Structure 1
Amino acid sequence: MTHRRIAALSFMTAPLLLLIGWAVMRLGGAGGAEPGWTVAHVAWVLDNIGLAVVVITLFRRSLPAGLGGRLVAGTTLVVGLAGAAAMLAQMVIDLVVGFATTDRSEMQAMSESIHDVPGVEPVVYVLGPVMLFVALLVQAVQLGVRRRMSWWFTAGVATSVLIAGGERLVDVPLRLPQAVAAVLLAAAFWPVGRRMWREAADPAVAVDRPATPVGVR
């Protein structure tokens, strides 16, 4: 499978995996029960791997000619990948906790002991998600301003990130904003992934054609 197909699949599946994890945890009543806990977190692991690929792909599309623009794009790439790595660490920690414990009280006790390790809470659970989604927002705005992506893509990503950020500040039943953010991200990403898949199948079509914004046609 070529890197273009991998990128296309990442755009098309990452938001859906985020939504699947949410549905299993919130609607399925997994909470901490198996197999829902493991299924949801495996979905989120794959989602974050996909988002890391998306960040790399958007970096390649947004890379400008000037030194200043390249510095901004490179910094955004590093921030986004660091955020994705922190999110992956969070999912792996939760999976280990699930495998190592037998009931809810044990899970909570083990999770609290991990959170008490200096640096884990702020880096893995607080800064990680912020870094990843802020990087996606910056990349979407850059590409929208330079007309490398459609207005639909930029607006969808921006709205999704703002809703996801707001969800961390307000307690909403079932964490519904997380689902809304995932749906908006899927609506923004799917046309991009679909077009990239077609372009990978047809080498005659230029993937990085700057004159044509990528997105809904």
Structure 2
Amino acid sequence: MSNTPWQRTAFAVGPLCMTAYGLIRLTDGEHGPGWSWSLGHLAFLAGVLCFIPIVLGMRRMAVRGRGPTGRGLAAAGTVTGLLGAAAVAAQAVIDLFAGFLSEDREAMREFFRHVKSHAGVEPAVYSVGPLLFYVGLLLLMTQLAALRRIAAWRPAAVVAGIVATGISLDLLPLAGLLFLLAFAPLGRQADTPDHRPLGATASQGVSGLTRSRSGSRAPEPADPASPRGPGR
């Protein structure tokens, strides 16, 4: 099953929303309640939600034509990525509520302390959970690169984006652009029947045309009455 137009668009919109969040965050010097905080986290939440069809689209690319082992690896990456996306989305929703319900930065800190005081919230939403999002993306991207369905530099671009985010949240715009570079073309590639890297089919077509023009004899049309049938 091929991606719908909206699903194909998500491969670009998700990273762009993350880039927008990073840029808006840079304009918010207080990082506190206000329009910048709310608008930025709405963009962040939209970006995370866009990664749900991205993960599912990569899974379809990874499992088609593969055996049980390949399908198992793709399933592991998909489940991990979706669990991580749920954790990051929950974090964005909590941040939005903190901005709406707090009058100032100190009130936001108290709100976060209250939320994190509940058992399991800290690892699920703020430490372990979000890491699963990046692990799932890397598992799927690495599998696709190993299958030669995407270029090997794309997982490297994702790693660079994750590292940039880990160094400083001020580098979120750079991380978003690296993610855009890695994921945006995959929306179209997911609809390529054999899932070879973009350009492979076109280059082979040019090669075949060149050989044909160099004097290769074109195959004779099949006899419709032949028991083998056309194209056999």
Unaligned runs of 5+ in 2: 203-232
Contact 1:192 1:215 in 2 (8 A): no
Alignment of 1:1-217 (within 5 A): 3-29=3-29, 31-63=31-63, 65-164=66-165, 166-167=166-167, 172=168, 175-193=169-187, 195=188, 207-210=191-194, 212-214=196-198
1:44–1:215 CA distance, 2 compared to 1 (3 A): farther
CA distance in 2, matches of 1:209, 1:154: 22
Contact 2:22 2:171 in 1 (8 A): no
* TM-score, length of structure 2 as denominator length: 0.78
1:189–1:52 CA distance, 2 compared to 1 (3 A): same
Contact 2:25 2:40 in 1 (8 A): yes
1:127 positional shift: 1.6
Higher helix share: 1
Contact 1:61 1:208 in 2 (8 A): no
Q: Please provide the CA RMSD for this pair.
A: 2.3
Deviations 1:70-129 (A, max 9, x none): 112111111110100111111111111111111111111111110111111111011222
The number of residue pairs the alignment matches comes to: 199
Deviations 1:162-185 (A, max 9, x none): 433x42xxxx4xx23333221111
CA distance in 2, matches of 1:127, 1:211: 33
Structure 1 or 2, whichever has the larger Rg, is 2
* TM-score, length of structure 1 as denominator length: 0.83
Contact 2:3 2:57 in 1 (8 A): no
CA distance in 2, matches of 1:211, 1:122: 37
1:29 positional shift: 2.6
CA distance in 1, matches of 2:48, 2:94: 14
Q: What SS does the corresponding residue of 1:123 show, helix, strand or coil?
A: helix
Unaligned runs of 5+ in 1: 197-205
1:200 aligned residue: none
CA distance in 2, matches of 1:125, 1:181: 19
